[in-house]
Structure 1
Amino acid sequence: MTAYIHQQPAWPAFNWQPAALEQLLGQVRYQQGHLLGRLEALGVELRSEATLRTLTLDVLKSSEIEGEMLPPASVRSSLAHRLGLERGGLPATNRRVEGVVAMMLDATQQAGQPLTAQRLYGWHHSLFPTGYSGLNPLQVGSWRTGPMQVVSGPMGRERVHYEAPPAEVLQEQMQQFMDWFNGSPELDPVLKAGLAHFWFVTIHPFDDGNGRIARAIADLQLTRADGTGQRCYSMSAQIQAERQQYYDLLETSQRGTLDLTPWLTWFLGCMGRALTAAGHTLAQVLSKAHFWELHQQTTLNERQRRLLIRLLDGFEGKLTSSKWARMAKCSQDTAGRDIADLVAKGILERDSAGGRSTNYCLLWPDARGLNDSSFNAH
């Protein structure tokens, strides 16, 4: 009796029930086409903004699924710089953020290029530029050479969720996977994304980072399915929202038969929910554009413009005059005058919350509080 799917005699001859997926696949493809049509109607500048927001979300949430919290402003800054977009006073980035961003951009902006071992090695090195995962040294930029188990729980009471194929078969199995991924044009490209995600993470060829790379491979394939490098929906954000079901279904499927109907059903459903959620991203992009259209004749100094760009992009937490001064590299008095001027011009308003300090909210033209940020000024 086999414990894991890769021990099945016919591995990796996956199968599924087309009739069970047909309706759901049709719905997802319709949603995909409708959303891409809305994106196309935005124009070049707004499409770029939607892509920046989506990729920022993808990078943040794919890392968050693995328990790593990256600084949102640094991720957006790195992506904006690499895409040639306005950074709006965003902070400098670090080596870790740059590596994750480089992998995601290579997957989505170079989606037409074949998937090779060297490309995957490069992604792995980008994820772990120091050669360490936390305090643990890794074998970076090559297939693992030892056994691999997915475990949870405290030391001494670990639970083994999955055991990957042994290291000695990785070269053959990864070559088989890459040959299939770079070929098989007969398979629907969305189904192929779901299958590729599962197949790669089941092989688990690296010491660490397999989940993030599997999601990048799925994003690469979905970019091919979209037929455009412009991204407007985030699978990683939706997977994070459904994280427990994601892990449960992976474990069940990796211990099951070669019939992947349950996994593909979930993957298509998750994609449909990601496409629905993407409508909010497009609404934010349009609201931001409307904001600048409304204030195109408003006189703003360079500090105010840079800080407003940052606020419109979803500044996290509360902004004090001290924070304004620090980000704008100006004095506290200058920060206070900047804020007072924006209040007078109807761009910021005092929050009624009161307290020991004065709070301010950004006034959106269409809807208040899309970034859920309020600002304290000391």
Structure 2
Amino acid sequence: MFNPKYTISNQMLSQLSEIAEIKSIVERSKLLPKREVFLKRTSIIKMAHTSTSIEGNELQEYQVANVANGKKISGDQNQITEVTNYLSALGEINKISELKKNIAAKDILNIHKITMNGLVTSEKLGNWRKGPVYVVNILPSGKEEIAYSPPSFIHVSEHVSDLLDWLNSSDKIHPIIRTGLFHYQFETIHPFTDGNGRTGRLLSLLHLYQSDWDFKKILVLEDYYNRNRKAYYEALQTGKTFIERSDADLTNWLEYYVEGFLDEANNVKTRILTLSGASSSKERNVLDLDELKIVDFVLSLGQITSSDVVDILNVPQRTAQSKLKKLEDIKVLEKKGAGPATHYIIAGIA
């Protein structure tokens, strides 16, 4: 089983305490539904932009926003597909997190399949790699240098199983530390031919959601990594082989991870407090469970119809229309089209 070596430094203890205080502030904040939905929507766009950008995607954030809103953009089709896939994968981890179950190997394979659909050949899609892979650095001369050799493909399934066994039996480890260690080891195993970074970051986010450390699903750790990709990769690089990495001290990686978590948690606090201060006490600031399900659907897919609500909530058409009208009245959703073409999108913030 995965047996990580690390020390919780005084710096980490202080930062974890500060993060916990921010978490409490975020959870107690009274944010109007339309403003919370706005923050979630912008965070989803930023997650898709930054996580794909880390891997070399050149689309700008405004282009990713257009893709998320169902608009056509000009650009490299593979890069557009990377973004649409990532948005779909974010929707999938939302669904999995609501099931309140442990992450299983089939979840990992499914998330990879969604993330890499149309980007790799069918035999590589949602399947463990069947050959060697190498992580390389590009030298100033343009030549490639092998930076890391992951374990043999023969042992990938076994290593993933060991990692999941550890994850699902490590409830005494602080959720942030646990997630950071999981993220590190997943990238160390490198179970797929391509898409390991995106899949690993999605799985880490899923585990934070499952551990109730989601910060209203506004936290964007990928933005911290993307601001200095070199530092991100250097923090992960603790050895040139799987054996070296298995014996490495992960304290430096965890210090990097916790520092980034605190940085992004502070960003969440600033955004929430700024918008909370602009709220009117006369406006409703709570969504019921059905309304949250409707909003999560729109956040994932960009729009919703009354027929979608009928399917999601198993309610009559008239009830579905009534629920959508209420969300429109409190300016969470905005109605588009007419007749059979009627649909709802996230309303712009005012």
TM-score between the two structures when normalised by the length of structure 2? 0.67
Structure 2 distance, partners of 1:284, 1:53, is 15
Q: CA deviation at 1:215?
A: 0.9
Calculate percent identity across the aligned residue pairs.
Answer: 21
| In structure 2, distance between residues paired with 1:26 and 1:205 | 34
Alignment of 1:274 with 2:264, yes or no, is yes
Name the residue aligned to 1:56: 45
Distance in 1, Cα, partners of 2:226 & 2:96: 25
CA offsets, 1:296-326, max 9 Å, x none? xxxxxxxxxxxxxxxxxxxxxxxxxxxxxxx
Q: Any idea what the Cα deviations from partners look like across 1:248-283, whole Å, max 9, x if unmatched?
A: 111136655432111111100010111122245437
Provide the C-alpha distance between the structure 1 equivalents of 2:170 and 2:2, rounded to a whole number of angstroms: 14
Corresponding residue for residue 100 of structure 1 = 86
CA distance 1:60–1:25, change in 2 (3 Å)? same
Q: Report which structure shows greater RCO (CA 8 Å, sep ≥6).
A: 2
Gaps of 5+ in 1: 1-10, 80-86, 294-363, 366-378
| 2:176 paired residue number | 190
Q: Relative to 1, partners in 2 of residues 1:153 and 1:243: Cα closer, same or farther, differing over 3 Å?
A: closer
The AA in structure 1 aligned to 2:196 is N
1:116–1:178: 8 Å Cα contact kept in structure 2?
Answer: yes
Any gaps of 5 or more consecutive residues in structure 2? 74-79, 284-348
Summarize deviations over 1:76-114 as a string: whole Å, max 9, x none: 4665xxxxxxx5xx6158654332112122224432333
Q: How does 1:1-378 map to 2 (within 5 A)?
A: 12-20=2-10, 21-38=12-29, 41-70=30-59, 72=61, 75-76=64-65, 91-92=71-72, 95-111=81-97, 112-132=100-120, 139-153=124-138, 157-226=143-212, 230-252=216-238, 255=244, 257-279=247-269, 281-282=271-272
What do the CA deviations read for 1:216-235 (whole angstroms, capped 9, x no partner)?
A: 11111222333568312200
Change in 2 beyond 3 A, CA 1:18/1:152: closer
CA distances 1:25-55 after superposition (whole Å, capped 9, x unpaired): 22222223223333xx103332222111111
Q: Is the 8 Å Cα contact of residues 96 and 127 (structure 1) preserved in structure 2? A: yes
TM-score normalised to structure 1 length:
0.63
What root-mean-square deviation, in Å, do the aligned CA atoms of Structure 1 and Structure 2 show?
A: 3.1
Paired positions, count: 269
- Contact 2:32 2:279 (8 Å CA) reproduced: no
State the alpha-carbon separation in 1 of the partners of residues 250 and 81 from structure 2: 38
User: Helix, strand or coil: the match of 1:226?
Assistant: coil
- Whole-Å Cα distance in 2 between the matches of residues 218 and 140 of structure 1? 20
Structure 1 or 2: more helix by fraction: 2
Aligned pair in 2 of structure 1 residues 75, 145: CA closer, same or farther (>3 Å)? same
